[in-house]
Structure 1
Amino acid sequence: MKQDTTIKRLCETALFTALVFLGIFTFKFPLPFGYVHLGDSMIFLAVLMLGGKRGALAGGIGGALADLISGYAIWMLPTFLCKFFLAICMGIIIEKQLFKLEGKSAWLVGGLLGGLVQTIGYMIASYVLYGMPAVVVAIPSLAFQSIAGLIIALVVAAALQKTALQKYFLHRANKKVSNEVSDSL
């Protein structure tokens, strides 16, 4: 039975890795120093459904692969790290109930702080690769991407919570983690 659970968890993580990749690769809007995409919404959703650790792997790997295939190989490592830590930060806030937040409040604060971590990470990478002018130019698009991704993920999560998929969310709106889900973390 444990093997079935392991295979299921691997498949779920792989599915979200593919969703992150597709969100970045398929729906991207080019900018001077990169592009804005829908992949972050899939990362936020992965954290809400899989938890911080598996969401981090899905986000980091999916994002890095999208950069590689899109011709932005120089951004693979920064993307992996930024997406990974976005998800880890959000996951910690939700799973550990930091700030005594639960449900949608934890989702929102976790997503905003995760997005801030990602923005700072990309600012550092932009500075290393291109210098301070690139950082100044990149800030608005980085902030927009994180906020838009979080809004999209929260809207999709709200819709999915009205379906049979609601059991897959770590924290249901206004409820604590169920024993079944917390045991799988």
Structure 2
Amino acid sequence: MKRENVNSKTRLMAFTGVMAALTTIFTAYIFHIPVGVNGGYVHFGDTVIYLAAAMLPAPYAMAVGALGGGLADLLTAPMWTIATVIIKMLIVIPFTSRSTSLLNKRNIAAPIISFFISATGYYIAEMLLFGAKVALIPAFTGSFVQSGGSALFFYIAAAAFDGVGVKKTIFEF
């Protein structure tokens, strides 16, 4: 294996670990606002997952979502951990890391698609966990607030990071 391949894999794994840790912190502790009676909460951890999805190849971004989101739920709302691991892996699929910029046509639309993935996933998980069908509109309302805030902060952070060339600086070797 070439030396630069080892360096690139090491850099990807290290960045994945940092982003997973940031996801956990921003989900479980920083701006963690409990809402509803089902253990849900509003957080900005999804913003970090979205940024990871725009910077990292899909398998690494999926690891950020699964590890960061899963650990946060394990620490704050353990009953949701399995659902969160699956859902947070899936919300990175609409994004692309193949562009030189974080904000491109696909990544601008991706948080909207991720909202539907997340809202549907948590709606199904809530039905499975609580054994009853819950009202669709109230279930999606909490997800809309959560995903909308994360999308807004993703757009702001991605524009700022693009402005200073973060992706090029971190991943050009």
* Contact persistence 2:56–2:97 (CA under 8 A): no
- The Cα offsets for residues 114-143 of structure 1, whole Å up to 9 and x where unpaired, read as 221111101100111122236553320111
* Contact persistence 1:50–1:168 (CA under 8 A): no
Alignment of 1:73 onto 2:58: no
| Structure 2 residue corresponding to 1:86, chosen from 84, 91, 106 | 91
Q: Secondary structure at the match of 2:18?
A: helix
User: Aligned partners of 2:98 and 2:12: how far apart in 1?
Assistant: 21
Alignment of 1:49 onto 2:55: yes
User: Aligned partners of 1:106 and 1:38: how far apart in 2?
Assistant: 21
With normalisation by structure 2, the TM-score equals: 0.84
User: Aligned partners of 1:107 and 1:169: how far apart in 2?
Assistant: 19
CA shift in 2, pair 1:135/1:77, >3 Å: farther
> What does 1:74-153 align with in structure 2 at a 5 Å threshold?
74-87=79-92, 89-91=93-95, 94=96, 103-130=103-130, 131-133=132-134, 136-153=137-154
Structure 1 position 95, deviation (Å): 5.6
Q: Which runs of 5+ in 2 are unaligned?
A: none
* Contact persistence 1:126–1:135 (CA under 8 A): no
- The Cα offsets for residues 77-132 of structure 1, whole Å up to 9 and x where unpaired, read as 10001110001x223xx3689xxxx9532112122112211111011001111222
Q: Which runs of 5+ in 1 are unaligned?
A: 171-179
Partner residue of 2:33? 29
Moved more, 106-115 or 128-137: 128-137
* Contact persistence 1:16–1:42 (CA under 8 A): yes
Alignment RMSD: 2.4
User: Aligned partners of 2:134 and 2:11: how far apart in 1?
Assistant: 46
* Contact persistence 2:65–2:88 (CA under 8 A): yes
Number of residue-to-residue matches in the alignment: 164
User: Aligned partners of 1:161 and 1:96: how far apart in 2?
Assistant: 14
> What does 1:162-177 align with in structure 2 at a 5 Å threshold?
162-167=163-168
Partner residue of 2:161? 160
* Contact persistence 2:53–2:97 (CA under 8 A): no
Paired residue type of 1:111? P
* Contact persistence 1:20–1:40 (CA under 8 A): yes
Higher share in helix: 1
User: Aligned partners of 1:23 and 1:103: how far apart in 2?
Assistant: 22
- The Cα offsets for residues 136-181 of structure 1, whole Å up to 9 and x where unpaired, read as 53320111211211110111010011114141699xxxxxxxxx79
Moved more, 33-42 or 136-145: 136-145
Q: Secondary structure at the match of 1:47?
A: helix
User: Aligned partners of 1:44 and 1:113: how far apart in 2?
Assistant: 12
* Contact persistence 2:119–2:139 (CA under 8 A): no
Paired residue type of 2:162? Q
Q: Secondary structure at the match of 1:6?
A: helix
